[in-house]
Amino acid sequence: MTTRHNGQSHNQLLAALPASELPLLWTELKPVAFDQGSVLQDPGDRIQFVYFPTSGMISLLAMTSDGKAVETAAVGREGALGAHCGFGIFHVHTRAVVEIPGAGLRMPAGAFQKFVRESDRLRDLLIHYHEFRLAETQQSVACNALHAAEGRLARWLLHTADIVGSDIVPLTQEFLSQVLGVRRTTVTTLARNLLRTGALGYGRGRIEIRDREQLKKFACECYEVLQRLSVQMLPRPPKK
């Protein structure tokens, strides 16, 4: 279970709100656990809850009619899933899957929309947050179309480690093949190549980044682009 204090301090979007507005939010926020592999939404679903992760990571996957998928963005403690319902958009177009287990808070979508209408600060934060999400998705599209699988894998591992705040990433190669849109055998080959360089370590169901600078050499330019975008656009806690 996540305490109120932890939920507030470990979700960047909530932490950026003025302290005067938090008591109202806490009347609707409830702790929630994120189990790996859980599907929180599917294309066409109506948003029921807004989720604020405090740990772990949720993958947003673009789906095709034959069941194939590729990751277009990820949501962690920097933001929220389903927050666009605050602007009256209640249907989703991607599958949201818990990629790395963790915890967070959730709020009914209707209550969240009401808070957005009443809070200028929350509305402003959401505009900036969704600008970042749009830029991230656009960068992901370019990355998947133009960059080699090795560079995308290295970029993805670095970005994921940044989101969860740990260089140990509990993921299987099967899951990596899905989010990267490549065959599992391709992921196995790429991972072995990176293991030989000393950039990665690999255990059952987990990957460890052992040398970030070495891994950055293999990552495509999109990693640096996403880092700059996150600094420029993601909400920050108010100065005390």
Determine the pLDDT at residue 82: 95
User: What are the pLDDT tens digits along the chain (240 aa)?
Assistant: 333 333 444 899 998 888 888 888 888 999 999 998 899 999 999 999 999 999 999 999 888 888 777 788 899 999 999 999 999 999 999 999 999 999 999 999 999 999 999 999 999 999 999 999 899 888 988 988 899 999 999 999 999 999 888 999 888 778 888 778 788 889 889 988 999 999 999 877 788 999 999 999 999 999 999 899 888 888 776 555
Give, in degrees to the nearest 5, the angle at Cα 140 between 139 and 144.
120
Residue 52 burial (CB count, 10 A):
28
Domain extents for the chain? 4-143, 148-220
pLDDT at 231: 87
The CATH number of the structural domain formed by 148-220 is: 1.10.10.10
The CB density around residue 51, as the number of other CB atoms within 10 Å, is 23
- The pLDDT score that the predictor gives to residue 69 is 79
72 in helix, strand or coil?
Answer: strand
Other Cβ atoms less than 10 A from the Cβ of 118: the count is 11
Instruction: Using alpha carbons, list the distances in angstroms from residue 8 to 3, 73, 85, 200, 238.
Output: 9, 23, 21, 33, 13
| DSSP per-residue codes, 86-142 | GGT--B--SEEEEEE-EEEEEEEHHHHHHHHHH-HHHHHHHHHHHHHHHHHHHHHHH
In degrees and rounded to multiples of 5, residue 54 shows phi and psi of -110, -15
Phi and psi (nearest 5°) for 100? -125, 125
Contact yes or no for 170/157 (Cβ under 8 A): no
Q: Which CATH architecture has domain 4-143?
A: Sandwich (2.60)
Q: What is residue 187's predicted lDDT score, i.e. its pLDDT?
A: 87
Residue 237: what pLDDT?
A: 62
Type of residue numbered 175: F
Distance CA 223, CA 155 (A): 5
- The sign of the dihedral angle between the CA atoms of 43, 44, 48, 50 is positive
Helix/strand/coil for 215: helix
Helix axes 120-146, 109-118, angle to 10 degrees: 120
The pLDDT of residue 240 is 54
pTM, full prediction:
0.86
